[in-house]
C-alpha cells in the first residue's frame, strides 16, 4: 500500500464523470487499499477515485474513525436509491480543496447501493455525517465539487482566495 497524491482543485479531472468499474481486478483492490491509506494519512473521512487521478466509480470512507469508531468502507459503482425529504446544512471540507470549508445543504438521509471488493452487492441507509459523506463522494464521481453547491457570491468569496493562494 502507498499514499497517493491528492488531486487539487482546479484540476480538470475533478469536473469529469467517472466510468463504472467493470470488474474487480487486483488493480482495483490495490487502488482501494491505497485510497484508504491516503484518506487516513490526509487525514480525511472520504476519498473518491478522481481525487487520486483514478477516473473510476469508486470511493472509500470511514465516517467514524476520528471518533474512535473505525468502519472503513469501499464503495464500487455506488448509486443512491432513496433520498430523504428532510434537508440539513453542514459545513463540509474537501481534501481536494484544502483550507476551504463551506455550508452545503443536502438530504439528511439517503440509501445507497454499491458493490464491495468481494463482489457482493450492498444496500445501506445513511444519516447524519455519514449521509453527507456518501453524497459528497458520489458528487466527486459525477464531476461535482463543493463549490458547485454554492451560490455565485459565496463561491466567489471562497474560491478567489483559494485560487490566489495556489498561484
Distance CA 113, CA 140 (A): 17
- Residue 90 CA to residue 111 CA, distance in Å, equals 19
Q: E-strand spans in 37-94?
A: 46-48, 58-61, 73-83, 87-93
User: 10 Å Cβ neighbour count for 152?
Assistant: 7
Q: Is 145 helix (H, G, I), strand (E, B) or coil?
A: coil
* Catalytic-role residue among 16, 137, 153, 164: 137
Is 137 known to be catalytic? yes
Q: Residue 7 in contact with residue 52, Cβ under 8 Å? A: yes
Cell numbers 472503513: residue? 72
Query: Which grid cell is 18?
Result: 467517472
Catalytic machinery residues: 137
Amino acid at each position: 500500500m502507498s499514499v497517493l497524491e491528492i488531486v487539487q482543485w482546479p484540476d480538470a479531472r475533478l469536473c469529469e464523470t467517472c466510468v463504472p468499474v467493470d470488474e474487480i481486478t487486483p488493480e482495483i483492490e490495490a487502488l482501494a487499499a491505497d485510497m484508504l491509506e491516503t484518506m487516513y494519512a490526509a487525514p480525511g473521512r472520504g476519498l473518491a477515485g478522481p481525487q487520486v487521478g483514478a477516473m473510476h466509480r469508486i470511493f472509500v470512507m470511514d465516517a467514524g474513525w476520528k471518533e474512535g469508531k473505525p468502519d472503513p468502507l469501499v464503495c464500487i459503482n455506488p448509486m443512491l436509491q432513496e433520498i430523504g425529504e428532510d434537508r440539513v446544512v453542514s459545513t463540509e471540507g474537501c481534501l481536494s480543496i484544502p483550507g476551504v470549508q463551506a455550508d452545503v445543504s443536502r438530504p439528511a438521509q439517503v440509501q445507497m447501493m454499491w458493490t464491495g471488493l468481494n463482489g457482493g452487492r450492498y444496500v445501506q441507509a445513511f444519516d447524519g455525517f455519514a449521509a453527507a459523506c456518501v453524497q459528497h463522494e458520489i458528487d466527486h464521481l459525477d464531476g461535482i465539487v463543493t463549490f458547485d453547491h454554492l451560490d455565485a457570491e459565496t463561491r466567489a468569496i471562497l474560491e478567489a482566495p483559494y485560487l490566489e493562494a495556489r498561484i
